[in-house]
Amino acid sequence: MSLPQIVDSHCHLDFSDFDAERADVIARAVDAGVTRMVTICTRLRLEPQVRKIAEDFAPVFYAAGTHPMSAADEPMATLDELIALTAHPKMVGIGESGLDYHYTAETAQVQKQSLRVHIQAAQETGLPLIIHNRASDDDMIDILSVAHKEKPFACVMHCFSSSAELARVAIDLGFYLSMSGIAAFPKSQELRDIFASAPVDRILVETDSPYLAPPPHRGRRNEPAYTAHTAKIGAEVFGLSYEDFAAQTSANFDRLFAKAAGWSS
């Protein structure tokens, strides 16, 4: 009997944590029913390495952008640069970009500048924007709302663990919320309640591996195969079977990441 197919919508397969066994990690994911993965480039100068992983492994797609925590250390991304990258058939998203005032509040202004460039790229290309947000809800609500009113764009709030207000605004804008291993932690009931209040057709699942491993792997290196552990909690949150939740979140992924859905080798 085949396993339900599911998608890890956000991982970091280029990180050194996977250097010794990258092919095995991807094979284990496929064996666990994770038939597609989106690996995220967080520094544009590393895009060639991230792209090569997507080229070498059929189940892997990629996105590229400048992570907000790196925005002050990296050259400012340009609109033309981001648009040019989207010519690759397996480049399916813009980001991750966003705001992080927990660790890097002192670079808030450059983070905002970088975010606006990434938003423009999503607006111009039609590819979804992948948002990182931490301790910056008010500014994030303002920037996304204003930009979306100027010209609509698609977006996922990656590894969502923010406020109910930001969740509501994101859903009202037509965006998606992505459930990571944080939602599976025992003390995350408030976060699970926020997810439960959202429409199930706006939910994705992800690992953010090598970070945030869900139970029973918490505290160890995360990997895409563990998407299933988070998805099982997600199924409980929405009162669905694992099979139905896997099918729903996969359909949601196809709707948002239409370029990945339409790709054929």
The annotation status of 132 as a binding-site residue, yes or no, is yes
Q: Could you tell me if 92 and 127 are in contact, meaning their C-beta atoms sit under 8 angstroms apart?
A: yes
Q: Which of 145, 146, 142, 140 is nearest to 160 (CA)?
A: 140
Whether 114 shows a pLDDT value over 80: the answer reads yes
Whether 81 shows a pLDDT value over 70: the answer reads yes
The annotation status of 118 as a binding-site residue, yes or no, is no
CA 167 to chain centre: 15
CA 224 to chain centre: 12
Percent of the chain residues past pLDDT 90, beyond the cut:
98
Residues counted in the chain: 265
**pLDDT given for residue 1 in this prediction:** 59
Residue ranges of the alpha helices (H) in the chain? 22-31, 47-56, 79-85, 108-125, 137-150, 164-172, 189-196, 227-237, 242-256, 258-261
Mean pLDDT of the chain: 97
Question: What value does the mean pLDDT take over residues 57-79?
Answer: 98
Would you put residue 248 in left (φ > 0), alpha (ψ -120 to 50) or beta?
alpha
Q: Could you tell me if 161 and 186 are in contact, meaning their C-beta atoms sit under 8 angstroms apart?
A: no
Threshold 0.85, pTM exceeds: yes
**Each residue of 6-63: pLDDT tens digit?**
999 999 999 999 999 999 999 999 999 999 999 999 999 999 999 999 999 999 999 9
Question: What value does the mean pLDDT take over residues 163-179?
Answer: 98
The annotation status of 10 as a binding-site residue, yes or no, is yes
The secondary structure of residue 183, as a DSSP letter, is G
Q: Could you tell me if 59 and 92 are in contact, meaning their C-beta atoms sit under 8 angstroms apart?
A: no
Question: What value does the mean pLDDT take over residues 138-143?
Answer: 98
Question: What value does the mean pLDDT take over residues 190-204?
Answer: 98
The annotation status of 12 as a binding-site residue, yes or no, is yes
Count how many Cα atoms sit within 13 Å of the Cα of residue 200 in the half-sphere of its side chain: 17
For the chain, give the longest Cα–Cα distance. Answer: 53
CB neighbours of residue 186 within 10 Å? 7
- Given pLDDT bands bounded at 50, 70 and 90, which one contains residue 2? confident
Question: What value does the mean pLDDT take over residues 75-99?
Answer: 98
Q: In the chain, what are the domains?
A: 6-261 (3.20.20.140)
**Each residue of 242-253: pLDDT tens digit?**
999 999 999 999
**pLDDT given for residue 264 in this prediction:** 81
The annotation status of 229 as a binding-site residue, yes or no, is no
Distance CA 18, CA 32 (A): 18
Whether 265 shows a pLDDT value over 80: the answer reads no
SS3 108: helix
Task: Classify residue 215 as exposed, middle or buried by CB count within 10 Å of its CB (0-12, 13-18, 19+).
Answer: middle
Q: Could you tell me if 248 and 201 are in contact, meaning their C-beta atoms sit under 8 angstroms apart?
A: yes
Question: What value does the mean pLDDT take over residues 146-156?
Answer: 98
The secondary structure of residue 135, as a DSSP letter, is S
Question: What value does the mean pLDDT take over residues 185-200?
Answer: 98
The annotation status of 158 as a binding-site residue, yes or no, is yes
Whether 65 shows a pLDDT value over 90: the answer reads yes
